Structure 1
Amino acid sequence: MVQAWYMDDSDDDQRNPHQLEPNQTLSLEQLKNLGVLYWKLNADIYETDPKLAKLRDEKGYSFSDIITIRKDTLPNYEEKLKIFFTEHLHLDDEIRYIVDGSGYFDVRDKDERWIRIAMEKGDMITLPAGIYHRFTVDQKNYTKAMRLFVGEPVWTAYNRPADDFDCRKQYIEYINKTLAAVASI
């Protein structure tokens, strides 16, 4: 099961967990309130998994590919890691399914605090359009992920600041409404 926590402000290696002391974890419900969706799938059968096929059909994920992030397979490995770890947003949802290995997705909460989401084999996540985020491998230095898209793949990342995009404004509006609704319960 995926784990998430608020990050410390340390400048240590980005591949370290960066947990606060004491650790401050977040639940799947808290991630969902940020628009981050999660599924646990059987990565051993990802090519034929009926649960994945159903999700793809329901969500309209019509395109996918596999990226292997490992020093010996990814050209310009160190440069790519820096690019992945630069805070950015996308105009479309980012959907990633870890089919092997592990890594971290970091997202910003409403108060600009970093939340680290530890992903491992079988974890699938959707980050909503307009959320600031970044990715890094962990100390194992290996992630194999399926990238899924609605329609043709769009690879463009917009580094922060990118607050003028409509998707960012819509995301902020969504967060404000969601958190106001949660607070009124």
Structure 2
Amino acid sequence: MMSGIEAWYEDESSEDQKLPHRLKPNQPVTLRQLEQIGVDYWKLNADIYENDPELQKIREEKGFSYMDIITIHPDKLPDYENKVKMFYEEHLHLDDEIRYTLDGSSYFDVRDKDDRWIRIAVSKGDLITLPAGIYHRFTVDESNYTKVMRLFVGEPVWKAYNRPADDSDIRKAYVNSLRCS
């Protein structure tokens, strides 16, 4: 892992989700702070993703056996507007969410230990993992375009559990992991 990602605490504005939503003054979030809530990050060379030995090594070490690619753009994704709204609903998953940005840019929003939103800007070459049980959401930025590799351990599970899901075992395990760190 290496540095290179930009993240910050979000404002409470309900304006367009695709805007940066930085607090004034900006409150940056470090890679170390992201790691403390279970978010992992790598910077890779997306131009060689098909034959990248570093990506292959990560996939083998982490067991990321399944892979597909999705392009999120009005001309490429059927039912684009509804899908973007759905991705932005606050939710969690029973498995880690692993995304590698091959082109374009977007945002992942995650909740910190105090339930505050952190916005993580990802762009070409960023590989990010969100732990199972973390509340999060996703949106494209103002470019309306990102091409992303989705990785899974085993077969993909597309089920999202919208908040509130605090009584789920995976959420309880995630919250307990925060107390231990």
TM band (smaller chain): over 0.9
**What is the aligned partner in structure 2 of residue 78 from structure 1?**
81
For the pair 1:24 / 2:27, whether they are aligned, the reply is: yes
Q: Which amino acid in 1 is paired with 2:98?
A: I
Q: What are the Cα deviations for residues 121-178 of structure 1, in whole angstroms up to 9, with x where unaligned?
A: 0000000000000000000000100000000010000000111111100100011111
**What is the aligned partner in structure 1 of residue 46 from structure 2?**
43
For residue 164 of structure 2, the aligned residue among 148, 161, 165 is 161
Pairing of 1:32-181 with structure 2 (within 5 A): 32-178=35-181
**What is the aligned partner in structure 2 of residue 181 from structure 1?**
none
1:12 Cα deviation after fit = 1.0
TM-score normalised over the length of structure 2: 0.97
Q: What are the Cα deviations for residues 37-72 of structure 1, in whole angstroms up to 9, with x where unaligned?
A: 000000000111000000000000000000000000
**Structure 2 SS opposite 1:134:** strand
1:34 Cα deviation after fit = 0.3
Q: How many residues are paired up? A: 178
For residue 6 of structure 2, the aligned residue among 3, 9, 13 is 3
**Structure 2 SS opposite 1:46:** helix
Q: Which amino acid in 1 is paired with 2:110?
A: V
CA–CA separation in structure 2 for the residues paired with 1:128 and 1:5: 19
**What is the aligned partner in structure 2 of residue 183 from structure 1?**
none
**Structure 1 SS opposite 2:100:** strand
Q: Which amino acid in 1 is paired with 2:83?
A: K
Q: Which amino acid in 2 is paired with 1:39?
A: W
Q: What are the Cα deviations for residues 22-41 of structure 1, in whole angstroms up to 9, with x where unaligned?
A: 10001101000000000000
1:111 Cα deviation after fit = 1.0
- In structure 1, runs of 5+ residues without a counterpart are 179-185
Q: Which amino acid in 2 is paired with 1:30?
A: Q
